[in-house]
A and B are shown apart, each in its own frame.
Chain A
């Protein structure tokens, strides 16, 4: 089974801008790429997941580096990013849109680019897609239950959440850190995630996630010609520093392991659903 899908290069990277690193989840790749795109005219607007307070995620069209920074950081809940794509083109009059999304959202973007049934003059305005590694997602109330019931932290006190080293971590504004085993969060997962076999956002121009790289760095897959041009320029202009993936710990092996785990487990679930006569995406 092919773990990663098609890609040109894979590296470990992080943003060079301290402001980005301070706000970002890991290496700040998405923020750095979008800010680079906006500052250098490669993008004139981007769709990001903003924190609407208490980690409620809402899609936002950002047209300035400040707005991108405000939305930095992972929100472990559903955010319908594609829902604002048409308004980004129509209402913000954007010609070169960047969009970040989970693997399933990137697949949705690819579908609308190939089959633009209801996307009049929109698909051609998508300039860059960045996908983020994703094992599963939580509906907001599920996330709230994890944080409040299991971690014992009020949602309003949370400044950052993270998944890593087999645990779900919550950081509070009082400087506390709480963690529970990832296993405890499984019942709150979005069931729809169980038929998805894409861990590394295989259809994005660039995909990124913390897994495989050291703390504060991200693993980056550059997949398409468009993504490659953008990424190379960004590195040349000093927005990112990169290291060969072979030289970092824990390395690509861990990404492969997780990607294959998701594929195998969810392929089984798809087969199971088929046996029961339940529909699956086909």
Chain B
């Protein structure tokens, strides 16, 4: 049985809620894996050694040595380390928070997990949709490297946000105005003006959902396989 752990760094639990939001599919997943560590769902205090997949939610607080040690620990213990959600993948609201919140200790002391240790996969989004979490876990269980490729690339790069749409798509004359980015945005930071995305910087939390979802940045070949 594949051993999986869910580890939380500086985060809101939203990604875990998203995982649980898979409803009956969660049971399928739980049946096909052995969940060995998850502080919210079970009473295990130590992360066991030699795990197949560790899902890490949240960013690393650089002022907190426990967080840094935990980041190193998960890297050592996981065959596949997954940065789950925007905070772990790109920094998200822990670095780019909105709404006049005072962050503690300070904004600058947070880094996404992808910048602190080498991650194998990163799933963007705040939170990522339950479906994509299921897809990634299933693909990882089946060794479907082709499906996982875009997530592996994001883990390398650790950056994706609304700015990508302007720099990489609109600015390069690649945007055809489909509106996928606007629908994907969890904070409604994108409006379509004359068939082009307008990213409202007051609302963008840099979760990366829009640019990762854009068909003009990345269009894996396997999408063309229709039944």
Contact = CB atoms under 8 A, between A and B. Distances in A.
Please determine whether chains A and B interact with each other in the same assembly: yes
Interface of A: 5-6, 59, 77-87, 101-102, 104-105, 107-108, 110-112, 114-124, 137, 139-141, 190-193, 195-196, 202-203, 223-226, 278-282
Contacts of A121: 21, 129-131
Interface of B: 18, 21, 123-125, 128-132, 135, 150, 168, 172-180, 182-186, 192, 194-195, 209-210, 212-213, 215-220, 222-224, 226-227
B174 A281 contact: yes
A117 B194 contact: no
A139 B183 contact: no
A111 B132 contact: no
A79 B21 CA distance: 32
Given A115-B132, A116-B132, A104 B176 contact: yes
A118 B210 contact: yes
A192 B175 contact: yes
B176 A117 contact: no
Nearest to A113: B223
Chain B binding surface SS class: loop
20 contacts: A78-B177, A78-B194, A82-B179, A82-B182, A83-B179, A86-B184, A104-B176, A107-B223, A111-B223, A115-B132, A115-B150, A117-B213, A118-B186, A121-B129, A121-B130, A121-B131, A192-B174, A224-B227, A279-B172, A279-B174
Contact of A111 (B174, B180, B209): B180
Contacts of B212: 115, 117-118
Nearest to B190: A83
Contacts of B168: 279
B98 to A, nearest CB: 17
Given A107-B215, A225-B227, A118 B176 contact: no
Contact of B184 (A81, A117, A191, A225): A117
B176 A224 contact: no
Contacts of A6: 226
Given A110-B226, A120-B18, A224-B226, A79 B177 contact: yes
